[in-house]
Chains A and B, each alone.
Chain A
Amino acid sequence: MSALVELSGLEKTYATRTGDVHALSAVDLDISKGEFVAIVGPSGCGKTTLLKILAGLEDHTAGTASIGGHPIRTGNGDVGMVFQKATLLPWQDIAANVLLPLSLRRRPTSQDREKAAALLRMTDLEGFARKRPHELSGGMQQRAAICRALVHKPSLLLMDEPFGALDAMTRDSLNVEVNRIWRETGTTAVLITHSISEAVFLAERIFVMSARPGRIVDEITVPFDRERSLDLLGDPEFAALTSRIRTHFEVTHA
């Protein structure tokens, strides 16, 4: 297995007016090509910071970070991002929103449009290409945001608590969808979540982070098949894994 993402000895300190904030400490982490990795940790532990470093949006203070063997650079077009809010442009229709990563680089070709249409089909949004974001439900908007993150075939899909703002039922169905998208596209995915069961449901490997400064305190390999269904939620092994992860937070919060 070739490592797509390699982080070693990664440190991040934010200099603020009220002093330094040590956000990440000695983070070592490899992600293989095609792998689905989840990162869980308490709020404020540096998960978003880690993702921003992967996206090239934030510099790290020490250590090394590379994707595909190259140091991370902003805007090289090789990552797709999904945020907690759908962050679609309200003045453009869904098709134009999905095409954004491409249209920022060049005039979209008919092939590009076909790619966007295929993604919308895959996420059951076919009929909504000409609609504006406000005409879609929250879950549909987030699906469109996932299409946008994949349209330029990035080697890395980064998701920062993508379903945190949605209700539990929408969340479950989107999780099934993300699992299918991941299998069908073969993309490498990094999911940040503070839902432990979401992490276990989706990921092949889970990194548990400690409270700030964020360190990786546990790494769990999830033994389930690549294809996952909601039945998994009732599996005893699923319960065992979630409670193993949960113990970390009980300890840190004691």
Chain B
Amino acid sequence: MLEPVSQPECGLVAEVVSCDVFAGRSRKEIEELEVYAGNRRRKLGDFFSVSGSAADSPEETRIVIAGSVERTKWIGRGMSAGEIVVEGSTGMYTGAWMKGGRIVVKGSVDSFAGMMMDGGELVVQGDAGDYLGCAYRGEWRGMRGGSIVVHGNAGSEAGHCLSGGRVTVKGRAESFAGVRMHSGLLVLGSAERRVGAQMTGGSIVVLAETELLPSFELIERVTSPEIEGVRFEGVFEVYAGDLAERNAKGRVYVKVE
């Protein structure tokens, strides 16, 4: 259990908050873990009061952050197993490069949550910032596996360069969701304009009417389709695109009834 006692004025780089790192470490060792507040090297114990004990393996390790840590970044970076539960909200890059295990954030996550994810599960009960489940800056090969579920809304460019796995936003996603997506499944409760811009593959499901780019072509109307292994109830218009891209094989399903 990590209880936040203070947060630095600038961001706290805390990629050590991961079941892989905590496993097999004593409370004292966990307090000594290195974090960066801006460019200053500090200890995890300077910002969190640590209690409880870690298990021997990451699989059996469960980390609870008892509060909001909006300035703490990189929680669960590259984590391969175990569970992190955050009682409040987190900063940027939550669950980036995650390979396995589960992160549950009861509040909201800042931008770049689930960036380059390869496996595991990220559940956000509040909202997500921009670039949910995105590729790293400049990278064209994005998230490859695992699942992200956001119960609230998401910012711009959710599922940017998505190359596998599944991203679900139950609320509304801002512009450019699924931009440059290559494969995988992106499910949106509703979406602002320009869904799937430059997509070359994969499927986007929008559960409400939305305005698509002119480079998407209506190809059929289907009822209760199965998409990437998931069944969706209702009537959907199926669009192919983004036809502005070469050999584009993407599909956008828009729920109409």
Q: Do A and B bind each other?
A: no
Chain A residues packing against B (C-beta within 8 Å): none
Chain B residues packing against A (C-beta within 8 Å): none
